[in-house]
Structure 1
Amino acid sequence: MAGTETTRTLRPTPGHPPVSFGPDPVGRTSPTSATEQRKEPLVQNILDAIQAGDTSSEDFANLALPESYRAVTVHKDEVDMFEGLATRDKDPRQSLHIEDVALPELGPGEAYVAVMASAINYNTVWTSIFEPVSTFGFLERYGRLSELTKRHDLPYHVVGSDLAGVVLKTGPGVTRWKPGTEVVAHCLSVELEDPAGHDDTMMDPQQRIWGFETNFGGLAHIALVKSNQLLPKPAHLTWEEAASPGLVNATAYRQLVSKNAGQMKQGDNVLIWGASGGLGGFATQYALNGGANPICVVSNEEKADIVRSMGVEMIINRSEEKWQFWNEEGTEQNPKEWQRLGKRIRELTGGEDIDIVFEHPGRETFGASVYVTRKGGVITTCASTTGYMHEYDNRYLWMNLKRIVSSHFANYREAFEANRLIDQGKIHPTLSRTYSLEEVGQAALDVHHNLHQGKVGVLCLAPEEGLGVRDHEKRAKHLDAINRFRGV
């Protein structure tokens, strides 16, 4: 239980001693050694090489790698620990562990990356509370695919789907990325042995989300990735800033901009739910950057101020206007509230309806989203944070020729384009706060309870915030936009 004092000894990885954890007044499993203490010698050598700033690729390639590394994990033997609890009462601080795990074998087309910083996504929250299913089922299925993928089927799962860091070593067949290269990683893992994946890699039957449906994720000192997950780190950003956009930025790009989903064009009216959040903060930027008209839904005036600072003029504050799309029992929807929302939108747009809805809340809002979309318009959906079982009045869909388009992360090209816009300073990180690796349980809890704003970063090898900037001139041009979410 959170709030009790416990001493925990985590299971050893093969050939490695257990890691001891001391009393924790809030129930988190944090190491007894202070965060500032120097790391294991081989890991410290890696960090020293990165911070030197002039270490050659050859020197990076010659660095000795540790047999084990520090990582954030969930345990297979704890998947039932929250049984009987309501979703909100499940506490990631109890299920997320920080321990030493064995460095996996490096395979063809893969790379080890020293992780300077990572970030929290909802998929890490879902993993930590074992909802809607345990991720160990994903790892078991992946492990049956080949001899190489057996590495992923372990009694622990190293989580995390974002990173910024430095390439340490590459496997056979990797030619583009050299040791010492500063990179970020997108989270699409594909095998590409099936023809279905060669038009849009998201269609690969073996498409998975790294760090969620695969092991060896980014909330760690070292990560194992496929080389086709790597992208150049934007030189004007710190490690934590560069790590934070990955999953949500590429997701928003595909969902709203790409030909594979929204196909947004100039002048489109775009309804963005949660417009200042992790996903919505990027959707809002893409709408503005692409000449569309964002109608931003936020939950309070502080969040309204964030989107105003981006240049948004049309804002709907949920708390002020008290939308109630469902009755108190959550069993029936109220179409009159859909109508009220449609009227409010037309007041803001001068009588026009919505061309594209950027949907991700799911059950709570989906009926309203379908209703307010114009005839022939599009509802794009990539998530269901308020529930997966959507309900809507199908008459408003079929009789008005509207379309519901699914969108799930992004392919490599889309992730590259989204990262390129970050590098060009046209799209900016939405980082609001950064935690240490030892605080990852609290970081995940804050996201679980929606206490965060934008994205929440996690320092991994980086000893402090503010490191990793290589292009200070470019940074100075965009500093206000980079810091827009800070402290919110």
Structure 2
Amino acid sequence: MKEILDAIRSADATSADFAALALPESYRAVTVRKDESAMFEGLATCDKDPRKSLHVEEVPLPELGPGEALVAVMASSVNYNSVWSSIFEPLPTFGFLERYGRLSPLTKRHDLPYHVIGSDLAGVVLRTGPGVNVWKAGDEVVAHCLSVELESSDGHNDTMLDPEQRIWGFETNFGGLAEIALVKSNQLMPKPDHLSWEEAAAPGLVNSTAYRQLVSRNGAGMKQGDNVLIWGASGGLGSYATQLALAGGANPVCVVSSEQKAGICRAMGAEAIIDRNAEGYAFWKDEDTQDPREWKRFGQRIRELTGGEDVDIVFEHPGRETFGASVYVTRKGGTIVTCASTSGYKHEYDNRYLWMSLKKIVGSHFANYREAWEANRLVVKGRIHPTLSRTYRLEETGQAAYDVHRNLHQGKVGVLCLAPEEGLGIRDPEFREKHVTAINRFRLPQEG
């Protein structure tokens, strides 16, 4: 690994130099283990501790197949799917790997008693398999997490509809929380030159997800002037939705849970902000009963911030806790677009407010290659910025996942893999200087 890292840090290494590097037989990776998948049985979700289930261990280098690439991972990040993997919810991921392994002799590689997790990376291509022509050894890249086979016609209009669509590092093996990752070549995108490795690794999954959910015609199709209610507006997903709304001429109504998080939204340029804890919103009277009076109070507060208008779009991801309120406050003919259910999958809402007001609920899951590319292009151009708040070493991934699980973080949490320290990999410092305040925005509250 030292020779690989030396080549990456060298200013003179060529593609031929990278192609000539000897690959190691094994590498360090963050894993969950199949024989431990029942370790949290009987515990409430909040009591399940990723620090107990995530391991950093040496694993064999996987075989490189057609249309694939091996990437030296300089940095990765923790997404909520890594938390789900670590606490074996809603199901242990080994069922995903077993089903994928039955697809072909090549996919059988993924069905192992350990699962290398992680759905983001920034790094350097080491090898490409047969049929890869666009990318070569030495290319600096980021990866999005859509893995597709594209042997069915269903996926050729929108690859997210491919029947063999999977999320890399969650429903496939050899993910990004490791020193080396195996990806399909059509997951690769150019690394933004003005960002460090850890900054470049942060946007991938969440920025692409927010782009499809909010901007794409496959999601809400946001337009200029739209009022957009964004739950968790300073969080991993919401921080990108807030930026996309502002960059697209919409008016984000940012829902946060503290004054510190409200300050971050103001720093991004948002003006309409609701601190749900300070204002005491409680949408559920008890475990089984919602409180429509709180929906109404919430809607009135939104109209105070928008000049009397209801929201055109609700950017939904908390799920059960907020969904009834989301449906209620959306304007007539508006859209509730949902990509997750971090507070519970069984949503309840009053359907009268949906059908009689012609509202739409749209399901949105990650992004296709084109959407991910467009989202990354905005980062390359300095229109959208990383929301990295803290970086951990690979050995500390369990703690990083714990912090995300307990919502102790802001924005995104990064993980250094091969990178020995933060701040490496910046190729365009002049362009970076124009955006350095925005790049570091989520770090400022902790550094101050």
TM-score range, shorter chain: over 0.9
Counterpart among 463, 476, 479 of residue 420 in structure 2: 463
SS of the counterpart of 1:248? helix
Shift of 1:102: 0.5
Shift of 1:54: 1.6
Query: Which amino acid counterpart does residue 318 of structure 1 have in structure 2?
Result: R
* Partner of residue 101, structure 1: 59
Query: Which amino acid counterpart does residue 365 of structure 2 have in structure 1?
Result: H
2:191 is aligned with 1:233: yes
* Partner of residue 429, structure 1: 386
2:364 is aligned with 1:407: yes
2:171 is aligned with 1:213: yes
Counterpart among 131, 134, 137 of residue 95 in structure 2: 137
Query: Which amino acid counterpart does residue 418 of structure 1 have in structure 2?
Result: A
SS of the counterpart of 1:404? strand
* Partner of residue 337, structure 1: 294
Distance 1:116 1:199 in 2: 33
Query: Which amino acid counterpart does residue 54 of structure 2 have in structure 1?
Result: L
Counterpart among 58, 75, 84 of residue 42 in structure 2: 84
Distance 1:339 1:285 in 2: 27
TM-score, L = length of structure 1 = 0.91
SS of the counterpart of 1:71? strand
Distance 2:287 2:258 in 1: 22
Which whole-Å deviations, capped at 9, do the CAs of 1:116-139 have from their partners, x for residues lacking one? 000000000000000010000000
Which whole-Å deviations, capped at 9, do the CAs of 1:388-447 have from their partners, x for residues lacking one? 000000000000000000000000000000000000000000000000001000000000
Counterpart among 168, 174, 188 of residue 132 in structure 2: 174
* Partner of residue 264, structure 2: 306
* Partner of residue 372, structure 1: 329
Paired-residue identity, %: 77
Q: How many residues align?
A: 445
SS of the counterpart of 2:253? strand
* Partner of residue 57, structure 1: 15
Distance 1:130 1:186 in 2: 23
Which whole-Å deviations, capped at 9, do the CAs of 1:320-367 have from their partners, x for residues lacking one? 10000001x321000000000111111111110010000000000000
Structure 1 segments unaligned to the other structure (5+ residues)? 1-42
Distance 2:11 2:403 in 1: 34
Distance 2:394 2:28 in 1: 9
Distance 1:160 1:55 in 2: 28
2:443 is aligned with 1:481: no
Query: Which amino acid counterpart does residue 429 of structure 1 have in structure 2?
Result: P
Query: Which amino acid counterpart does residue 346 of structure 1 have in structure 2?
Result: R
Shift of 1:458: 0.1
Query: Which amino acid counterpart does residue 388 of structure 2 have in structure 1?
Result: L
RMSD: 0.5
* Partner of residue 225, structure 2: 267
* Partner of residue 257, structure 1: 215
Which whole-Å deviations, capped at 9, do the CAs of 1:264-285 have from their partners, x for residues lacking one? 0000000000000000000000
SS of the counterpart of 1:320? coil
Distance 2:432 2:373 in 1: 20
Distance 1:359 1:137 in 2: 27
* Partner of residue 3, structure 1: none
Distance 1:405 1:352 in 2: 21
Query: Which amino acid counterpart does residue 438 of structure 2 have in structure 1?
Result: A
* Partner of residue 40, structure 1: none
Query: Which amino acid counterpart does residue 423 of structure 1 have in structure 2?
Result: V
2:109 is aligned with 1:151: yes
* Partner of residue 419, structure 1: 376
Which whole-Å deviations, capped at 9, do the CAs of 1:256-313 have from their partners, x for residues lacking one? 0001011000000000000000000000000000000110001010000001011111
* Partner of residue 309, structure 2: 352
SS of the counterpart of 2:85? helix
SS of the counterpart of 2:424? coil
Distance 1:338 1:363 in 2: 14
* Partner of residue 396, structure 2: 439
Distance 1:421 1:67 in 2: 37
Query: Which amino acid counterpart does residue 248 of structure 1 have in structure 2?
Result: V
Query: Which amino acid counterpart does residue 89 of structure 1 have in structure 2?
Result: D
Distance 2:116 2:136 in 1: 24
* Partner of residue 48, structure 1: 6
* Partner of residue 183, structure 1: 141
Distance 2:320 2:295 in 1: 14
Structure 2 segments unaligned to the other structure (5+ residues)? none
* Partner of residue 249, structure 2: 291
Distance 1:101 1:313 in 2: 48
Distance 2:33 2:441 in 1: 37
SS of the counterpart of 2:277? helix
Shift of 1:319: 1.3
Distance 1:222 1:313 in 2: 42
SS of the counterpart of 1:108? coil
Distance 2:329 2:399 in 1: 37
SS of the counterpart of 2:425? coil
Query: Which amino acid counterpart does residue 268 of structure 1 have in structure 2?
Result: D
Distance 1:117 1:467 in 2: 10
Query: Which amino acid counterpart does residue 250 of structure 2 have in structure 1?
Result: A
Shift of 1:53: 2.2
